[in-house]
Amino acid sequence: MDLVDLFDQYKEQSLHGRYITLDEIEPLLKTLNTNNELKIIGKSVLDKPIYLYQIGSGNTKILLWSQMHGNESTTTKGLFDFINLLNSNSALAQNFLKTFTFYCIPMLNPDGAKLYTRVNANEIDLNRDSQDLTQPESKILRAQFESIQPNFCYNLHDQRTIFGVADTGKPATMSFLAPSYNEEREVNETRLKAINLIAGINAVLQGYIPNQVGRFDDSFNINCIGDTFQYMGVPTVLFEAGHFQGDYLREETRKYVFVSLVTSFTIISENDIVDSKIDNYLSISQNKVVFYDFIFKNIKINYDGIEIITNFAAQYKEELIDGQICFNAYIVKIGELDGFFGHFEYDAQGANYKDDLNNIPNLNQKADFHLENNIKFVDGLMSN
Ligand SMILES: [Zn+2]
């Protein structure tokens, strides 16, 4: 079975791009609520509903939550694509629904989603609040965890474009982690299940996005939700949806979230997580901060009367302006860029740098400039 073909069949067409809020998912959830699958499990700081969509009648209970960080919407899209599959009446769906009961919280942080922020409306990172439980959203997730008593947890996130797969120059399109449950980062039976699951997902993903799968750093932090749930004895997998070449809207990456979900439930339903796959897991290359959105090399600038050749890097800021996410490129690093890659790279071959300010690239300045050979860059990109 080609899982990308399957994705094309069940893709939720009403969700698109990066700005996914309650306004987009609420009508969808209501449409999907054909048999009392939907309930409100609590309210956010700004009194917005937090929904749980429960489907399936199997003994293996799966708890999934997305958009704990409000501006991380790719896994929400992938989750709805997967829910469409579950509602399809196909043989695969029937098998999943009789094996599993899925408890999906598609948007744990609706306020952050609206504001397009990582944090909630009290500016708290919910993924650092799993011990103190100071926020309503954290309490809601914990209460669900305790009442459902899941067999597996899926902690669904997005990661920034800065992450690559080790030093390969490939972006980390999907990254995973079986979080640690102690400082020593030991492997017990619980964590081993998460490890084996990720090893199995990776084996399939490599067929779709070769060398674009990363393994996240496993430093232990009990304030992170995945570490807490793993510590509490439930195998927990962290998904980080990342960058695919040219795909800032993450419509390509979304496919691989779907592929990963389907693969993981196939593995669990076939009970294929018994033998240790630690070596396979550890052979997944580590995530590394090696990317900028833009790198401009060999730019000539006149610095205090001296001509020098230098490089600079720019990074998109995703800014919410009039209800839309705008990708605005700002200069973030000037000078030595050895070991770094750009999703877009340009070699100026010593051409003179000019801009409308003082003809020197400065930190935090928009990446709008031109070169002496009349090549103009607007917002980091070449323009005519
Ligand atoms: Zn996140």
- Summarize pLDDT for 200-223 with one digit per residue, the tens: 999 999 999 999 999 999 999 999
Per-residue pLDDT averaged across 252-256, rounded?
98
Cα separation of 124 and 118, whole Å? 9
**269 CA distance to ligand 1 centroid (A)?**
27
**69 CA distance to ligand 1 centroid (A)?**
5
Task: Mark the residues whose beta carbon lies below 5 A from ion ligand 1.
Answer: 69, 72, 157
Query: Is 80 exceeded by the pLDDT of residue 300?
Result: yes
pLDDT class of 194 with cuts at 50, 70, 90: very high
Residue 168 confidence (pLDDT): 97
Residue 274 confidence (pLDDT): 77
Residue 375 confidence (pLDDT): 93
**237 CA distance to ligand 1 centroid (A)?**
13
Query: Does the pTM exceed 0.95?
Result: yes
SS3 content of the chain, % helix, strand, coil (to 5): 30, 30, 40
Cα separation of 141 and 51, whole Å? 11
Query: Is 80 exceeded by the pLDDT of residue 45?
Result: yes
**64 CA distance to ligand 1 centroid (A)?**
14
**310 CA distance to ligand 1 centroid (A)?**
34
Cα separation of 318 and 257, whole Å? 22
Q: How far is CA 173 from the centre of its chain?
A: 9
**239 CA distance to ligand 1 centroid (A)?**
9
Per-residue pLDDT averaged across 148-161, rounded?
98
Q: How far is CA 255 from the centre of its chain?
A: 12
Cβ-proximal residues to 299 (8 Å cutoff; 6+ apart), any chain: 309, 310, 311, 312, 348, 351, 353, 361, 371
HSE, side-chain direction, 13 A CA sphere, residue 301: 20
Q: Decide: 169 and 341 in contact? Cβ < 8 Å.
A: yes
**158 CA distance to ligand 1 centroid (A)?**
5
254 is written with which tokens?
A: 């979304």
**68 CA distance to ligand 1 centroid (A)?**
7
**119 CA distance to ligand 1 centroid (A)?**
9
pLDDT class of 73 with cuts at 50, 70, 90: very high
Residue 303 confidence (pLDDT): 82
Cα separation of 334 and 361, whole Å? 8
Q: Decide: 133 and 142 in contact? Cβ < 8 Å.
A: yes
Residue 271 confidence (pLDDT): 86
